[in-house]
């Protein structure tokens, strides 16, 4: 969706391509991005759109386990990247499960211009490879699922990664969740857009200099 000059891949939570992720995609499209979001559950069940009740969380976790948390989803991310024109700068933003996939994408896909991860719970266990592109990570200080010690280990290991902590709980970006925090969501989005715009501008400048 969108017809802007910059590409963006948006990676879902474990709740499928639901209303929240669609709204996120719409927001980025309105901001001038051409947005693609892979339906990661389609490998095992098509059209999954879950809510945020406990039974939805359980169902989402079951589906993610069936798909496989990393290998198969990264194939979908690569396919999305390859769908963009070669000359178009592309970045990636992921949420929860997608936040971890954003980190893996930064480690494995140097064509990307930047990667942003929101509350990616497995990142602290995936620090053996450095990111190949600029990375920004958003975490909640009061996250019930992600230990703050792991968050800080990321920054200690890779000081070049921008890591932000918010006075909020897990899922603070989603207005359909109990932990939604409007102030944190707005600030995180502003920071995210700043990185994306800067990374894409740098890519454009590099392209012009190489063509000169």
| Residue 56 domain flag | yes
| Number of domains composing the chain | 1
Quick one: pLDDT at residue 150?
Answer: 87
Tokens matching residue 147:
């230990």
Can you give the pLDDT at residue 212? 52
- The CATH number of residue 85's host domain is 3.40.50.1820
Q: By three-state DSSP, how is residue 33 classified?
A: strand
Residue 112, token pair as written in the block = 């990307």
**Catalytic residue (one of 76, 115, 138, 170):** 170
Q: Which of 76, 143, 179, 181 is catalytic?
A: 143
Range of the domain at 169: 6-211
Q: Residue 170 catalytic?
A: yes
Residue 96 is among the residues annotated as catalytic for this protein: yes
Q: Cβ–Cβ contacts within 10 Å for residue 16, how many?
A: 25
For residue 210, what pLDDT is reported?
Answer: 58
- Which stretches of the chain drop beneath a pLDDT of 70? 1-2, 203-212
Q: What is the pLDDT of residue 202?
A: 73
CB 146 within 8 A of CB 139: yes
Residue 1 lies in a domain: no
The answer to whether residue 142 is catalytic is: no
Evaluate whether residue 59 is within a structural domain: yes
pLDDT the model gives residue 206: 60
Cα-based angle 7, 17, 89 (whole degrees, multiple of 5): 10
Check residue 200 and give its pLDDT.
76
pLDDT value of position 148: 85
Per-residue pLDDT at 193: 95
């Amino acid at each position: 969706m969108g017809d802007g000059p910059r590409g963006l891949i948006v990676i879902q939570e474990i709740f499928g391509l639901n209303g929240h992720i669609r709204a996120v995609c719409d927001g980025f499209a309105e901001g001038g991005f051409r947005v693609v979001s892979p339906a990661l559950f389609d490998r095992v069940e098509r059209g999954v759109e879950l809510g945020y009740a406990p039974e939805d969380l359980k169902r989402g976790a079951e589906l993610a386990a069936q798909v496989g948390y990393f290998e198969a989803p990264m194939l979908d991310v690569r396919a999305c990247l390859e769908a963009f024109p070669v000359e178009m700068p592309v970045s990636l933003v992921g949420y929860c499960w997608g936040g971890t996939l954003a980190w893996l994408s930064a480690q494995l896909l140097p064509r990307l211009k930047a990667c942003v991860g929101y509350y990616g719970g497995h990142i602290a266990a995936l620090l053996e490879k450095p990111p190949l592109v600029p990375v920004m990570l958003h975490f909640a200080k009061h996250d019930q699922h992600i230990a703050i010690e792991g968050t800080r280990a990321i920054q200690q290991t890779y000081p070049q990664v921008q890591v932000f902590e918010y006075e909020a709980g897990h899922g603070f970006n989603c207005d359909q969740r109990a932990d939604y925090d409007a102030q944190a969501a707005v600030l995180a989005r502003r920071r995210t857009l700043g990185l994306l715009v800067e990374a894409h501008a740098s890519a454009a400048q590099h392209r012009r200099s190489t063509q000169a």
